[in-house]
Amino acid sequence: MDTVNIIKDKNRLRSKEKEISMEKRRILIKGKKVHNVGYRAFLLDEAEAILIHNFSARNIKNETEIVEVLVGGNKEKIDTFIKFIKNIYPEAAEIIDISVEDYNGEIRTIEAYSRSFSASQLSKIAITGVSLLKNQKSTQVLPEQL
């Protein structure tokens, strides 16, 4: 076996060891108002601050609004994050329930989530900006109309 393959095997083993020792949780934040209050950005900011390695969050529309959060990493950091979620939330949010359960699936890295989330938010901003410009043009009074 050559050196390159030995290094690749060691890296695969390290990755598996991290995966085995990593705690993973699925957190559901349910409420009357948990969408469009900045919840996912709020959670991403805290997850980055406490150095959570794996993170993902998405809005789920049901009878109530739900934010599903997947986190993975060191047990102490995950526990700290869950404590934060249960005690602090965006000002405009109206929470009904927060549940936490073990999770066995894959969770993307926080860096990958952050890139994806930023792109989706920029897309929303661009769409809103175009809409505002169209509205401005349709309500603009031309000098000859005065």
- Residue 40: per-residue pLDDT: 95
Question: Is 100 within a domain?
Answer: yes
Q: For the domain that residue 99 is a member of, what is the CATH number?
A: 3.30.70.100
Is the pLDDT confidence value at 112 over 90?
yes
- Residue 17: per-residue pLDDT: 47
Question: Is 146 within a domain?
Answer: no
- Residue 85: per-residue pLDDT: 97
CB within 8 Å of 59: residues ≥ 6 apart: 34, 35, 40, 65, 66, 67, 68
Q: What is the pLDDT of residues 45-85, one digit of tens each?
A: 999 999 999 999 999 988 889 999 999 999 999 999 999 99
Question: Is 124 within a domain?
Answer: yes
Average pLDDT, the chain: 85
- Residue 20: per-residue pLDDT: 53
